[in-house]
Structure 1
Amino acid sequence: MKIHRPHLLKHSFNVVNRVRQTASIAGLSALRIAKGEKPDARLLKDTFEQLGTTYIKIGQFIASTPSLFPREYVEAFQSCLDQTTPLSYDYIEQVLTAELAVDGQTLSDKFAYIDKQPLASASIAQVHAARLHNGDEVVLKVQKPDVETIMQTDLGVLHGVTKLLEVMMPSMKFASIAPIIDEIRLRMLAETDFVAEAQNIRDFQQFLAIAGNTRVVAPQVYDELTTKRVLTMSRLHGVSMIDESAMQQYCNDPAQVMADTLNTWFASLMLCNSFHADLHAGNLMLLTDGRIGFLDFGIVGKLKAESWRACMGMMQALQDNNYQAMAQHMVDMEMTRGHDVDVAALASDLQRMMTSIMAEDRAFTSGIPFNTKEQADELNKMMLEIVSVGKQHGIHFPRDFALLTKQLLYFDRFMRTLAPDMDMFSDQRVNILGQDVSSIEPPSITVQ
């Protein structure tokens, strides 16, 4: 295999430069500790924000995975979930040119227009509106420059400094760090592969076609304008599904729109290759033609059929106030590290915990609208309580079950704003695979 020397030299330079930058920032943080500052979650968060892309993503991973990290770290890293500062279009244009302007062509040959102002900017990618020469309106999800090199370098360094982190942050010794770093590596690198995300979209569209679902749509991928670092999709026009007044311009019944959303998502758990694992308000849109748009398939999950049945059984048990059955279903979901769980003791602790959560669940019954970040904060707090009880009994939450549970809870809270009179699991319009699920409710829907 022939290696292009200038490219190799540039890559090597970027790696060395990144290591130097990382060492400098880490050194400054070490100096803060030497001067007497407490090596806590806040200091780690500040350091990660200075280190940029990879560490911000790790911060997001910490903030959204309470099943693995201590409470203080999950709460400290909530700010990493916010949108990042946009890069100038010059940097974005460099990536577009490198990826799409091939064989002597220019970006002008590919696009009639590209808006230099981004629609959105996150840690890995930035989104710009554009128009093709045939008149099609598209969005360009563009990976930020050197993201993969930075991530590979950073993740390599992380393996080397793991022991140092455990010395500096004793409370991080809550679990073996190696599998956590491996999980972060898999999740982050998957998000940098837009070809894989394009496949996730196609899988979802195939599921819609097989199910005969015409109420929901995902953006069409332009394969000829999609690479690992650029994802070109049709632009969907609509309104946010947390704005009920705006939704009423395009639908008569917002609650029915949400029932269709729920039915589609539940069906995808069993009939699609993967389920959308990040379906918050920013990734749902009511289109101007009345259809529902599912956006951003960078984070997906997979769940075994038996785990899903146990999950529904757990919800049924909770609705019936049968915490003994709820505990048994948790064991059946393969959420335990062993087979010596005291089911009766777990049931007792679950009942005590859920009673406390429902008694304090005031933020969602006030009728005051809330935004995505506030919802995420509240959901993480609830997950922390559930996980806290689970850990005492040797419960291990698999990644994809945690994603599914959080999404279920998110839907529950989502309804409080959009359709406060609609109970998403007892409403006759909501079905799971065509079955009557009127008796099934998710955790914390009603206050007993």
Structure 2
Amino acid sequence: MRVRGQSSADKMRQFERHREIIKVLAEEGLHIVIAAAGLRRFGPIPKHAPKTQPDSEVTVEERIRRTLERLGPMFVKVGQAISTRTDVISPELATALSKLQDDVAPESFEVVRSVIEAELGASLEELFAHFDEVPAASASIGQVHKATLFDGSSVAVKVQRPGVQGIVERDIGIVTSQVRWLDAHTDVFGDIDAVSIADEFALAVREELDYIKEASNAEMLWRAFRDDESVAFPRVHWATTTSKVLTLDWLDGVRMNRLEELDSSGANRAILAQRGINCYLRQMLELGYFHADAHPGNYFALPDGRVGFTDFGRMGWISEESRHRFIDLVWAAINRDYGLATDTLVAVGNNPAVDDVALRREVGRLINKYHGRELGRINFAELSAEMLGLIRNYSLGVPSDFALILGTFVVLEGVGRMLDPEFDFATTAKPYITQVVQERSSPEVLAGRGLRAFGHAMRVLEQLPDSADRVLRRLSKGEVKVSVRVTGYDDLLSRLQELVNRLAFAIIVAALIIGFASLLSAAGAPAWVQYVGQIGLFAAFGISFWFFGSIILARLRGRKR
């Protein structure tokens, strides 16, 4: 994004960065990206030979991944974030981006010391009983050192690299302004709202630079799972945490992506996969927020058999509606309900011009593929990927949190099968899906829906008299000019009150019909709930017929007069 009041030096630095990006793209043989992105306007393409010839065995997707790694932290973070958005990128590119590496040479210990002491206002020796000078891990934004507090606790201290915020902000500005230029001058994005997606990822990257935000994410998950004996989330040590220094409990285990070390340690990979996925399912389908960096390198197999989580810079937030829509899709696939599946996809999408007939046909093909299978035999990764394909092909423009659910399910099943080739994601997910369906069909939940609908109707009714009164007062004061002369004010007020009463009655009847209809359509509801819904619906329709009949009779009598 171009910043107002930029100095000539800043503009020159941005121009030079554009030239650097073009150079890296050319070296990776991605001239087509340079052309498609409109980067030629920043100067000619370097004429040196690319490092990767176009006819080599290296795929375009792998070259894109390698390019992002070479361009630095902001590009790596955006690539990692978009790897789960297979509603806007191809599955092949998503797979390549999921392998992005963020390993760079560490800063010197003197630099680390200076950052910690400047942030915490005390010497390193006053803050920690021991501090390892050699980092345990090093990435583009920060590096992690193991340390010991004076109470004997082993902690991981994450220290941000000096100057990284300026580098990231520069690249965010370049990327977002480039996306806006392409959106305004080309049709390269089609129906995808690329500007909103770019802004979303820019916000996510900025949040990763704020270690207070990451600490809050870690604290939230630690509180939710502190009594769960199958997983471990590190506790935050707030006394030694700032926006650039983060101190968490040290988790001493083997990273999940180191399979040989896992086997040497005697870890049960099948149990680890099940525990990790169970934890994610609870986060996504119950809590509504989850650890969004689903890279296996962010999980540890602890000596006591628990699964440890680390790196909380990225969190996913899922609305209740998106969670329920996802369950609706799964339920529709199981029950061969084309209408429910199509309606759900259209409801979550943002494309009023979608071809409903063609979409229904494609949904029917997809559901037929899975119909007849038991829940435990459905490949959720395959199902989610095909749904994302429909979303992409029909430009449905679904909310990011809904796409995140589908994309994350694909990633999670891949992690599960990496740990255990026999891992069955659907069998693990079955209890959670069944639980959500049953909860939505419970009398308490259905009653809550009815109360919310009734409450909304009552709020509308409460506002009607005040609104009508304001309009009439303005009319009586001459503040509103109309083309007719108002006479018989008392009669008008009486008729208006009658109309308000009729409208109130109609809204209440409509709320009753909706409430009882929801009882009938509730998936998996008990028989007595369906019975109550039928009786109530017939009664509500009877009242509505009487109501509209009385209106018609009143009009006929008025005409006779």
TM-score, L = length of structure 1: 0.72
In structure 2, which of residues 343, 350, 358 is the aligned counterpart of residue 328 of structure 1?
Answer: 343
Q: Does 1:246 align with 2:262?
A: yes
**Alpha-carbon distance, 1:83 to partner:** 2.0
| Residue aligning to 1:316 | 331
Partner of 2:409: 408
2:195 aligned partner: 178
Match of 2:283 in 1: 268
The residue identity in structure 2 corresponding to 1:53 is: P
CA–CA separation in structure 2 for the residues paired with 1:106 and 1:414: 42
- Give the Cα separation in 2 of the matches to 1:355 and 1:156: 46
Q: Residue 88 of structure 1 is aligned with which of 95, 103, 106? A: 106
Of 109, 123, 127, 1:110 maps to 127
What is the CA-CA distance between 1:192 and the residue it aligns to? 1.2
> Aligned partners of 1:204 and 1:130: how far apart in 2?
23
Taking structure 1 as reference, are residues 324 and 37 closer, same or farther at Cα in structure 2, changes over 3 Å only?
farther
In the alignment, is the contact (CA less than 8 A) between 1:57 and 1:123 conserved in 2? no
State the partner residue of 2:358: 345
Aligned residue for 1:404, secondary structure, equals helix
Post-superposition Cα deviations, 1:59-108, rounded to whole Å, max 9, x if no partner, equal 33444433234x49x72993584223423332x65255234446763223
Supply the AA of the counterpart residue of 1:298. G
Closer, same or farther: CA 436–155 of 1 in aligned 2, 3 Å: closer
User: Does residue 220 of structure 2 align to residue 219 of structure 1?
Assistant: no
Give 1:60's aligned residue: 80
Q: CA deviation at 1:46?
A: 7.0
Structure 1 residue 24 displacement after superposition? 4.0
Partner SS, residue 425 of structure 1:
helix
**Aligned AA (1:389):** L
**Secondary structure at 1:128's aligned position in 2?**
strand
1:119-134 equivalent positions in 2, closer than 5 A: 119-134=136-151
Which amino acid counterpart does residue 399 of structure 2 have in structure 1? P
The verdict on how the C-alpha distance between 1:132 and 1:190 changes in structure 2, with shifts beyond 3 A counting, is same
* Counterpart position of 2:156: 139
The farther-off stretch of 145-154 and 79-88 is 79-88
Secondary structure of the structure 2 residue equivalent to 1:154: helix
The equivalent position to 1:22 in structure 2, one of 9, 17, 32, is: 17
2:220 partner amino acid: D
Q: Residue by residue, what CA displacement relative to the aligned partner does 1:336-367 show, whole Å, maximum 9, x if unpaired?
A: 1145645553243245568899xxxxxxxxxx
Provide the C-alpha distance between the structure 2 equivalents of 1:204 and 1:280, rounded to a whole number of angstroms: 17
CA contact (8 A) 1:100 1:225 kept: no
2:93 to 62, 75, 89: 75
Amino acid of the structure 2 residue aligned with 1:348: R
Q: Is the 8 A contact 1:262 1:430 kept in 2?
A: no
Distance in 2 (CA, whole Å) between partners of 1:48 and 1:249 is: 34
Q: Distance in 2 between matches of 1:346 and 1:103?
A: 57
- Structure 1 distance, partners of 2:364, 2:165, is 45
CA 1:348/1:82 → structure 2, altered by over 3 Å: closer, same or farther? Answer: same
Q: Which residue of 2 aligns with 1:97?
A: 114
Q: CA deviation at 1:315?
A: 1.6
Any idea what SS the aligned residue of 1:397 has? Answer: coil
Distance change >3 Å, CA 268–CA 184, structure 1 → 2: closer
Cα offsets for 1:225-254 (capped at 9, x unmatched): 111122111111123446498369566x65
Cα displacement (A) at 1:418 = 3.2
How big is each residue's C-alpha offset from its partner over 1:154-192, in whole Å with a ceiling of 9 and x where there is no partner? 323444444655699863566444323211221111111
Return the offset for 1:219: 0.8
Asked whether the equivalents of residues 323 and 351 of structure 1 are also in contact (C-alpha less than 8 Å), the reply is yes
User: Of Structure 1 and Structure 2, which has the larger fraction of its residues in helix?
Assistant: 2
Alignment partners' CA distance in 2, 1:208 and 1:286: 16
Instruction: In structure 2, list runs of 5 or more residues that go unmatched.
Output: 1-6, 27-39, 55-59, 371-380, 439-561
Residue number in structure 1 paired with 2:435? 435
* CA separation of 1:382 and 1:310: change in aligned 2, threshold 3 A: closer
Give the match's secondary structure for 2:152: coil
Pick closer, same or farther for the CA change 1:166–1:289 going to 2, 3 Å.
same
**Where do 1:184-195 residues align within 5 Å?**
184-195=201-212
Report the number of matched residues: 399
What is the match of residue 289 of structure 1? 304
Deviations 1:115-144 (A, max 9, x none): 344333333232232333443222122223
Q: How does 1:31-42 map to 2 (within 5 A)?
A: 31=43, 33=45
CA RMSD of aligned residues (A): 4.4
1:120 maps to a residue whose letter is: A
Please tell me whether the aligned partners of residues 129 and 140 of structure 1 are also in contact (alpha carbons under 8 angstroms). Answer: yes
Please tell me the residue identity of whatever aligns with 1:67.
D
Deviations 1:366-425 (A, max 9, x none): xxxxxxxxxxxxx7x997754442234341232222222222223323333434445333
Identify unmatched segments of 5+ residues in structure 1.
Answer: 1-11, 358-378, 439-448
- Conserved? CA contact 1:83–1:120, under 8 Å: no
1:223 positional shift: 0.8
CA contact (8 A) 1:237 1:287 kept: yes
Structure 2 counterpart of 1:298, from 298, 303, 313: 313
- Is the CA contact 1:324–1:343 (under 8 Å) kept in the aligned structure 2? no
The 1-side partners of 2:369 and 2:241 are apart by: 49
SS of the residue 1:84 aligns to: coil
Equivalent residue of 1:414, what SS?
Answer: helix
CA drift of 1:294 comes to 2.1
Percent of counterpart pairs with the same letter?
A: 27
Pair 150,341 (structure 1): closer, same or farther in 2 beyond 3 Å:
same
Q: Is the 8 A contact 1:59 1:77 kept in 2?
A: no
1:321–1:419: structure 2 CA closer, same or farther, 3 Å change rule? farther
Distance 1:169 1:338, change over 3 A: closer
Structure showing greater relative contact order (alpha-carbon pairs closer than 8 Å, 6 or more residues apart): 1
Contact 1:239 1:287 in 2 (8 A): yes
AA aligned to 2:350 is: R
In structure 2, distance between residues paired with 1:148 and 1:14 = 18
Other-structure match for 2:517: none
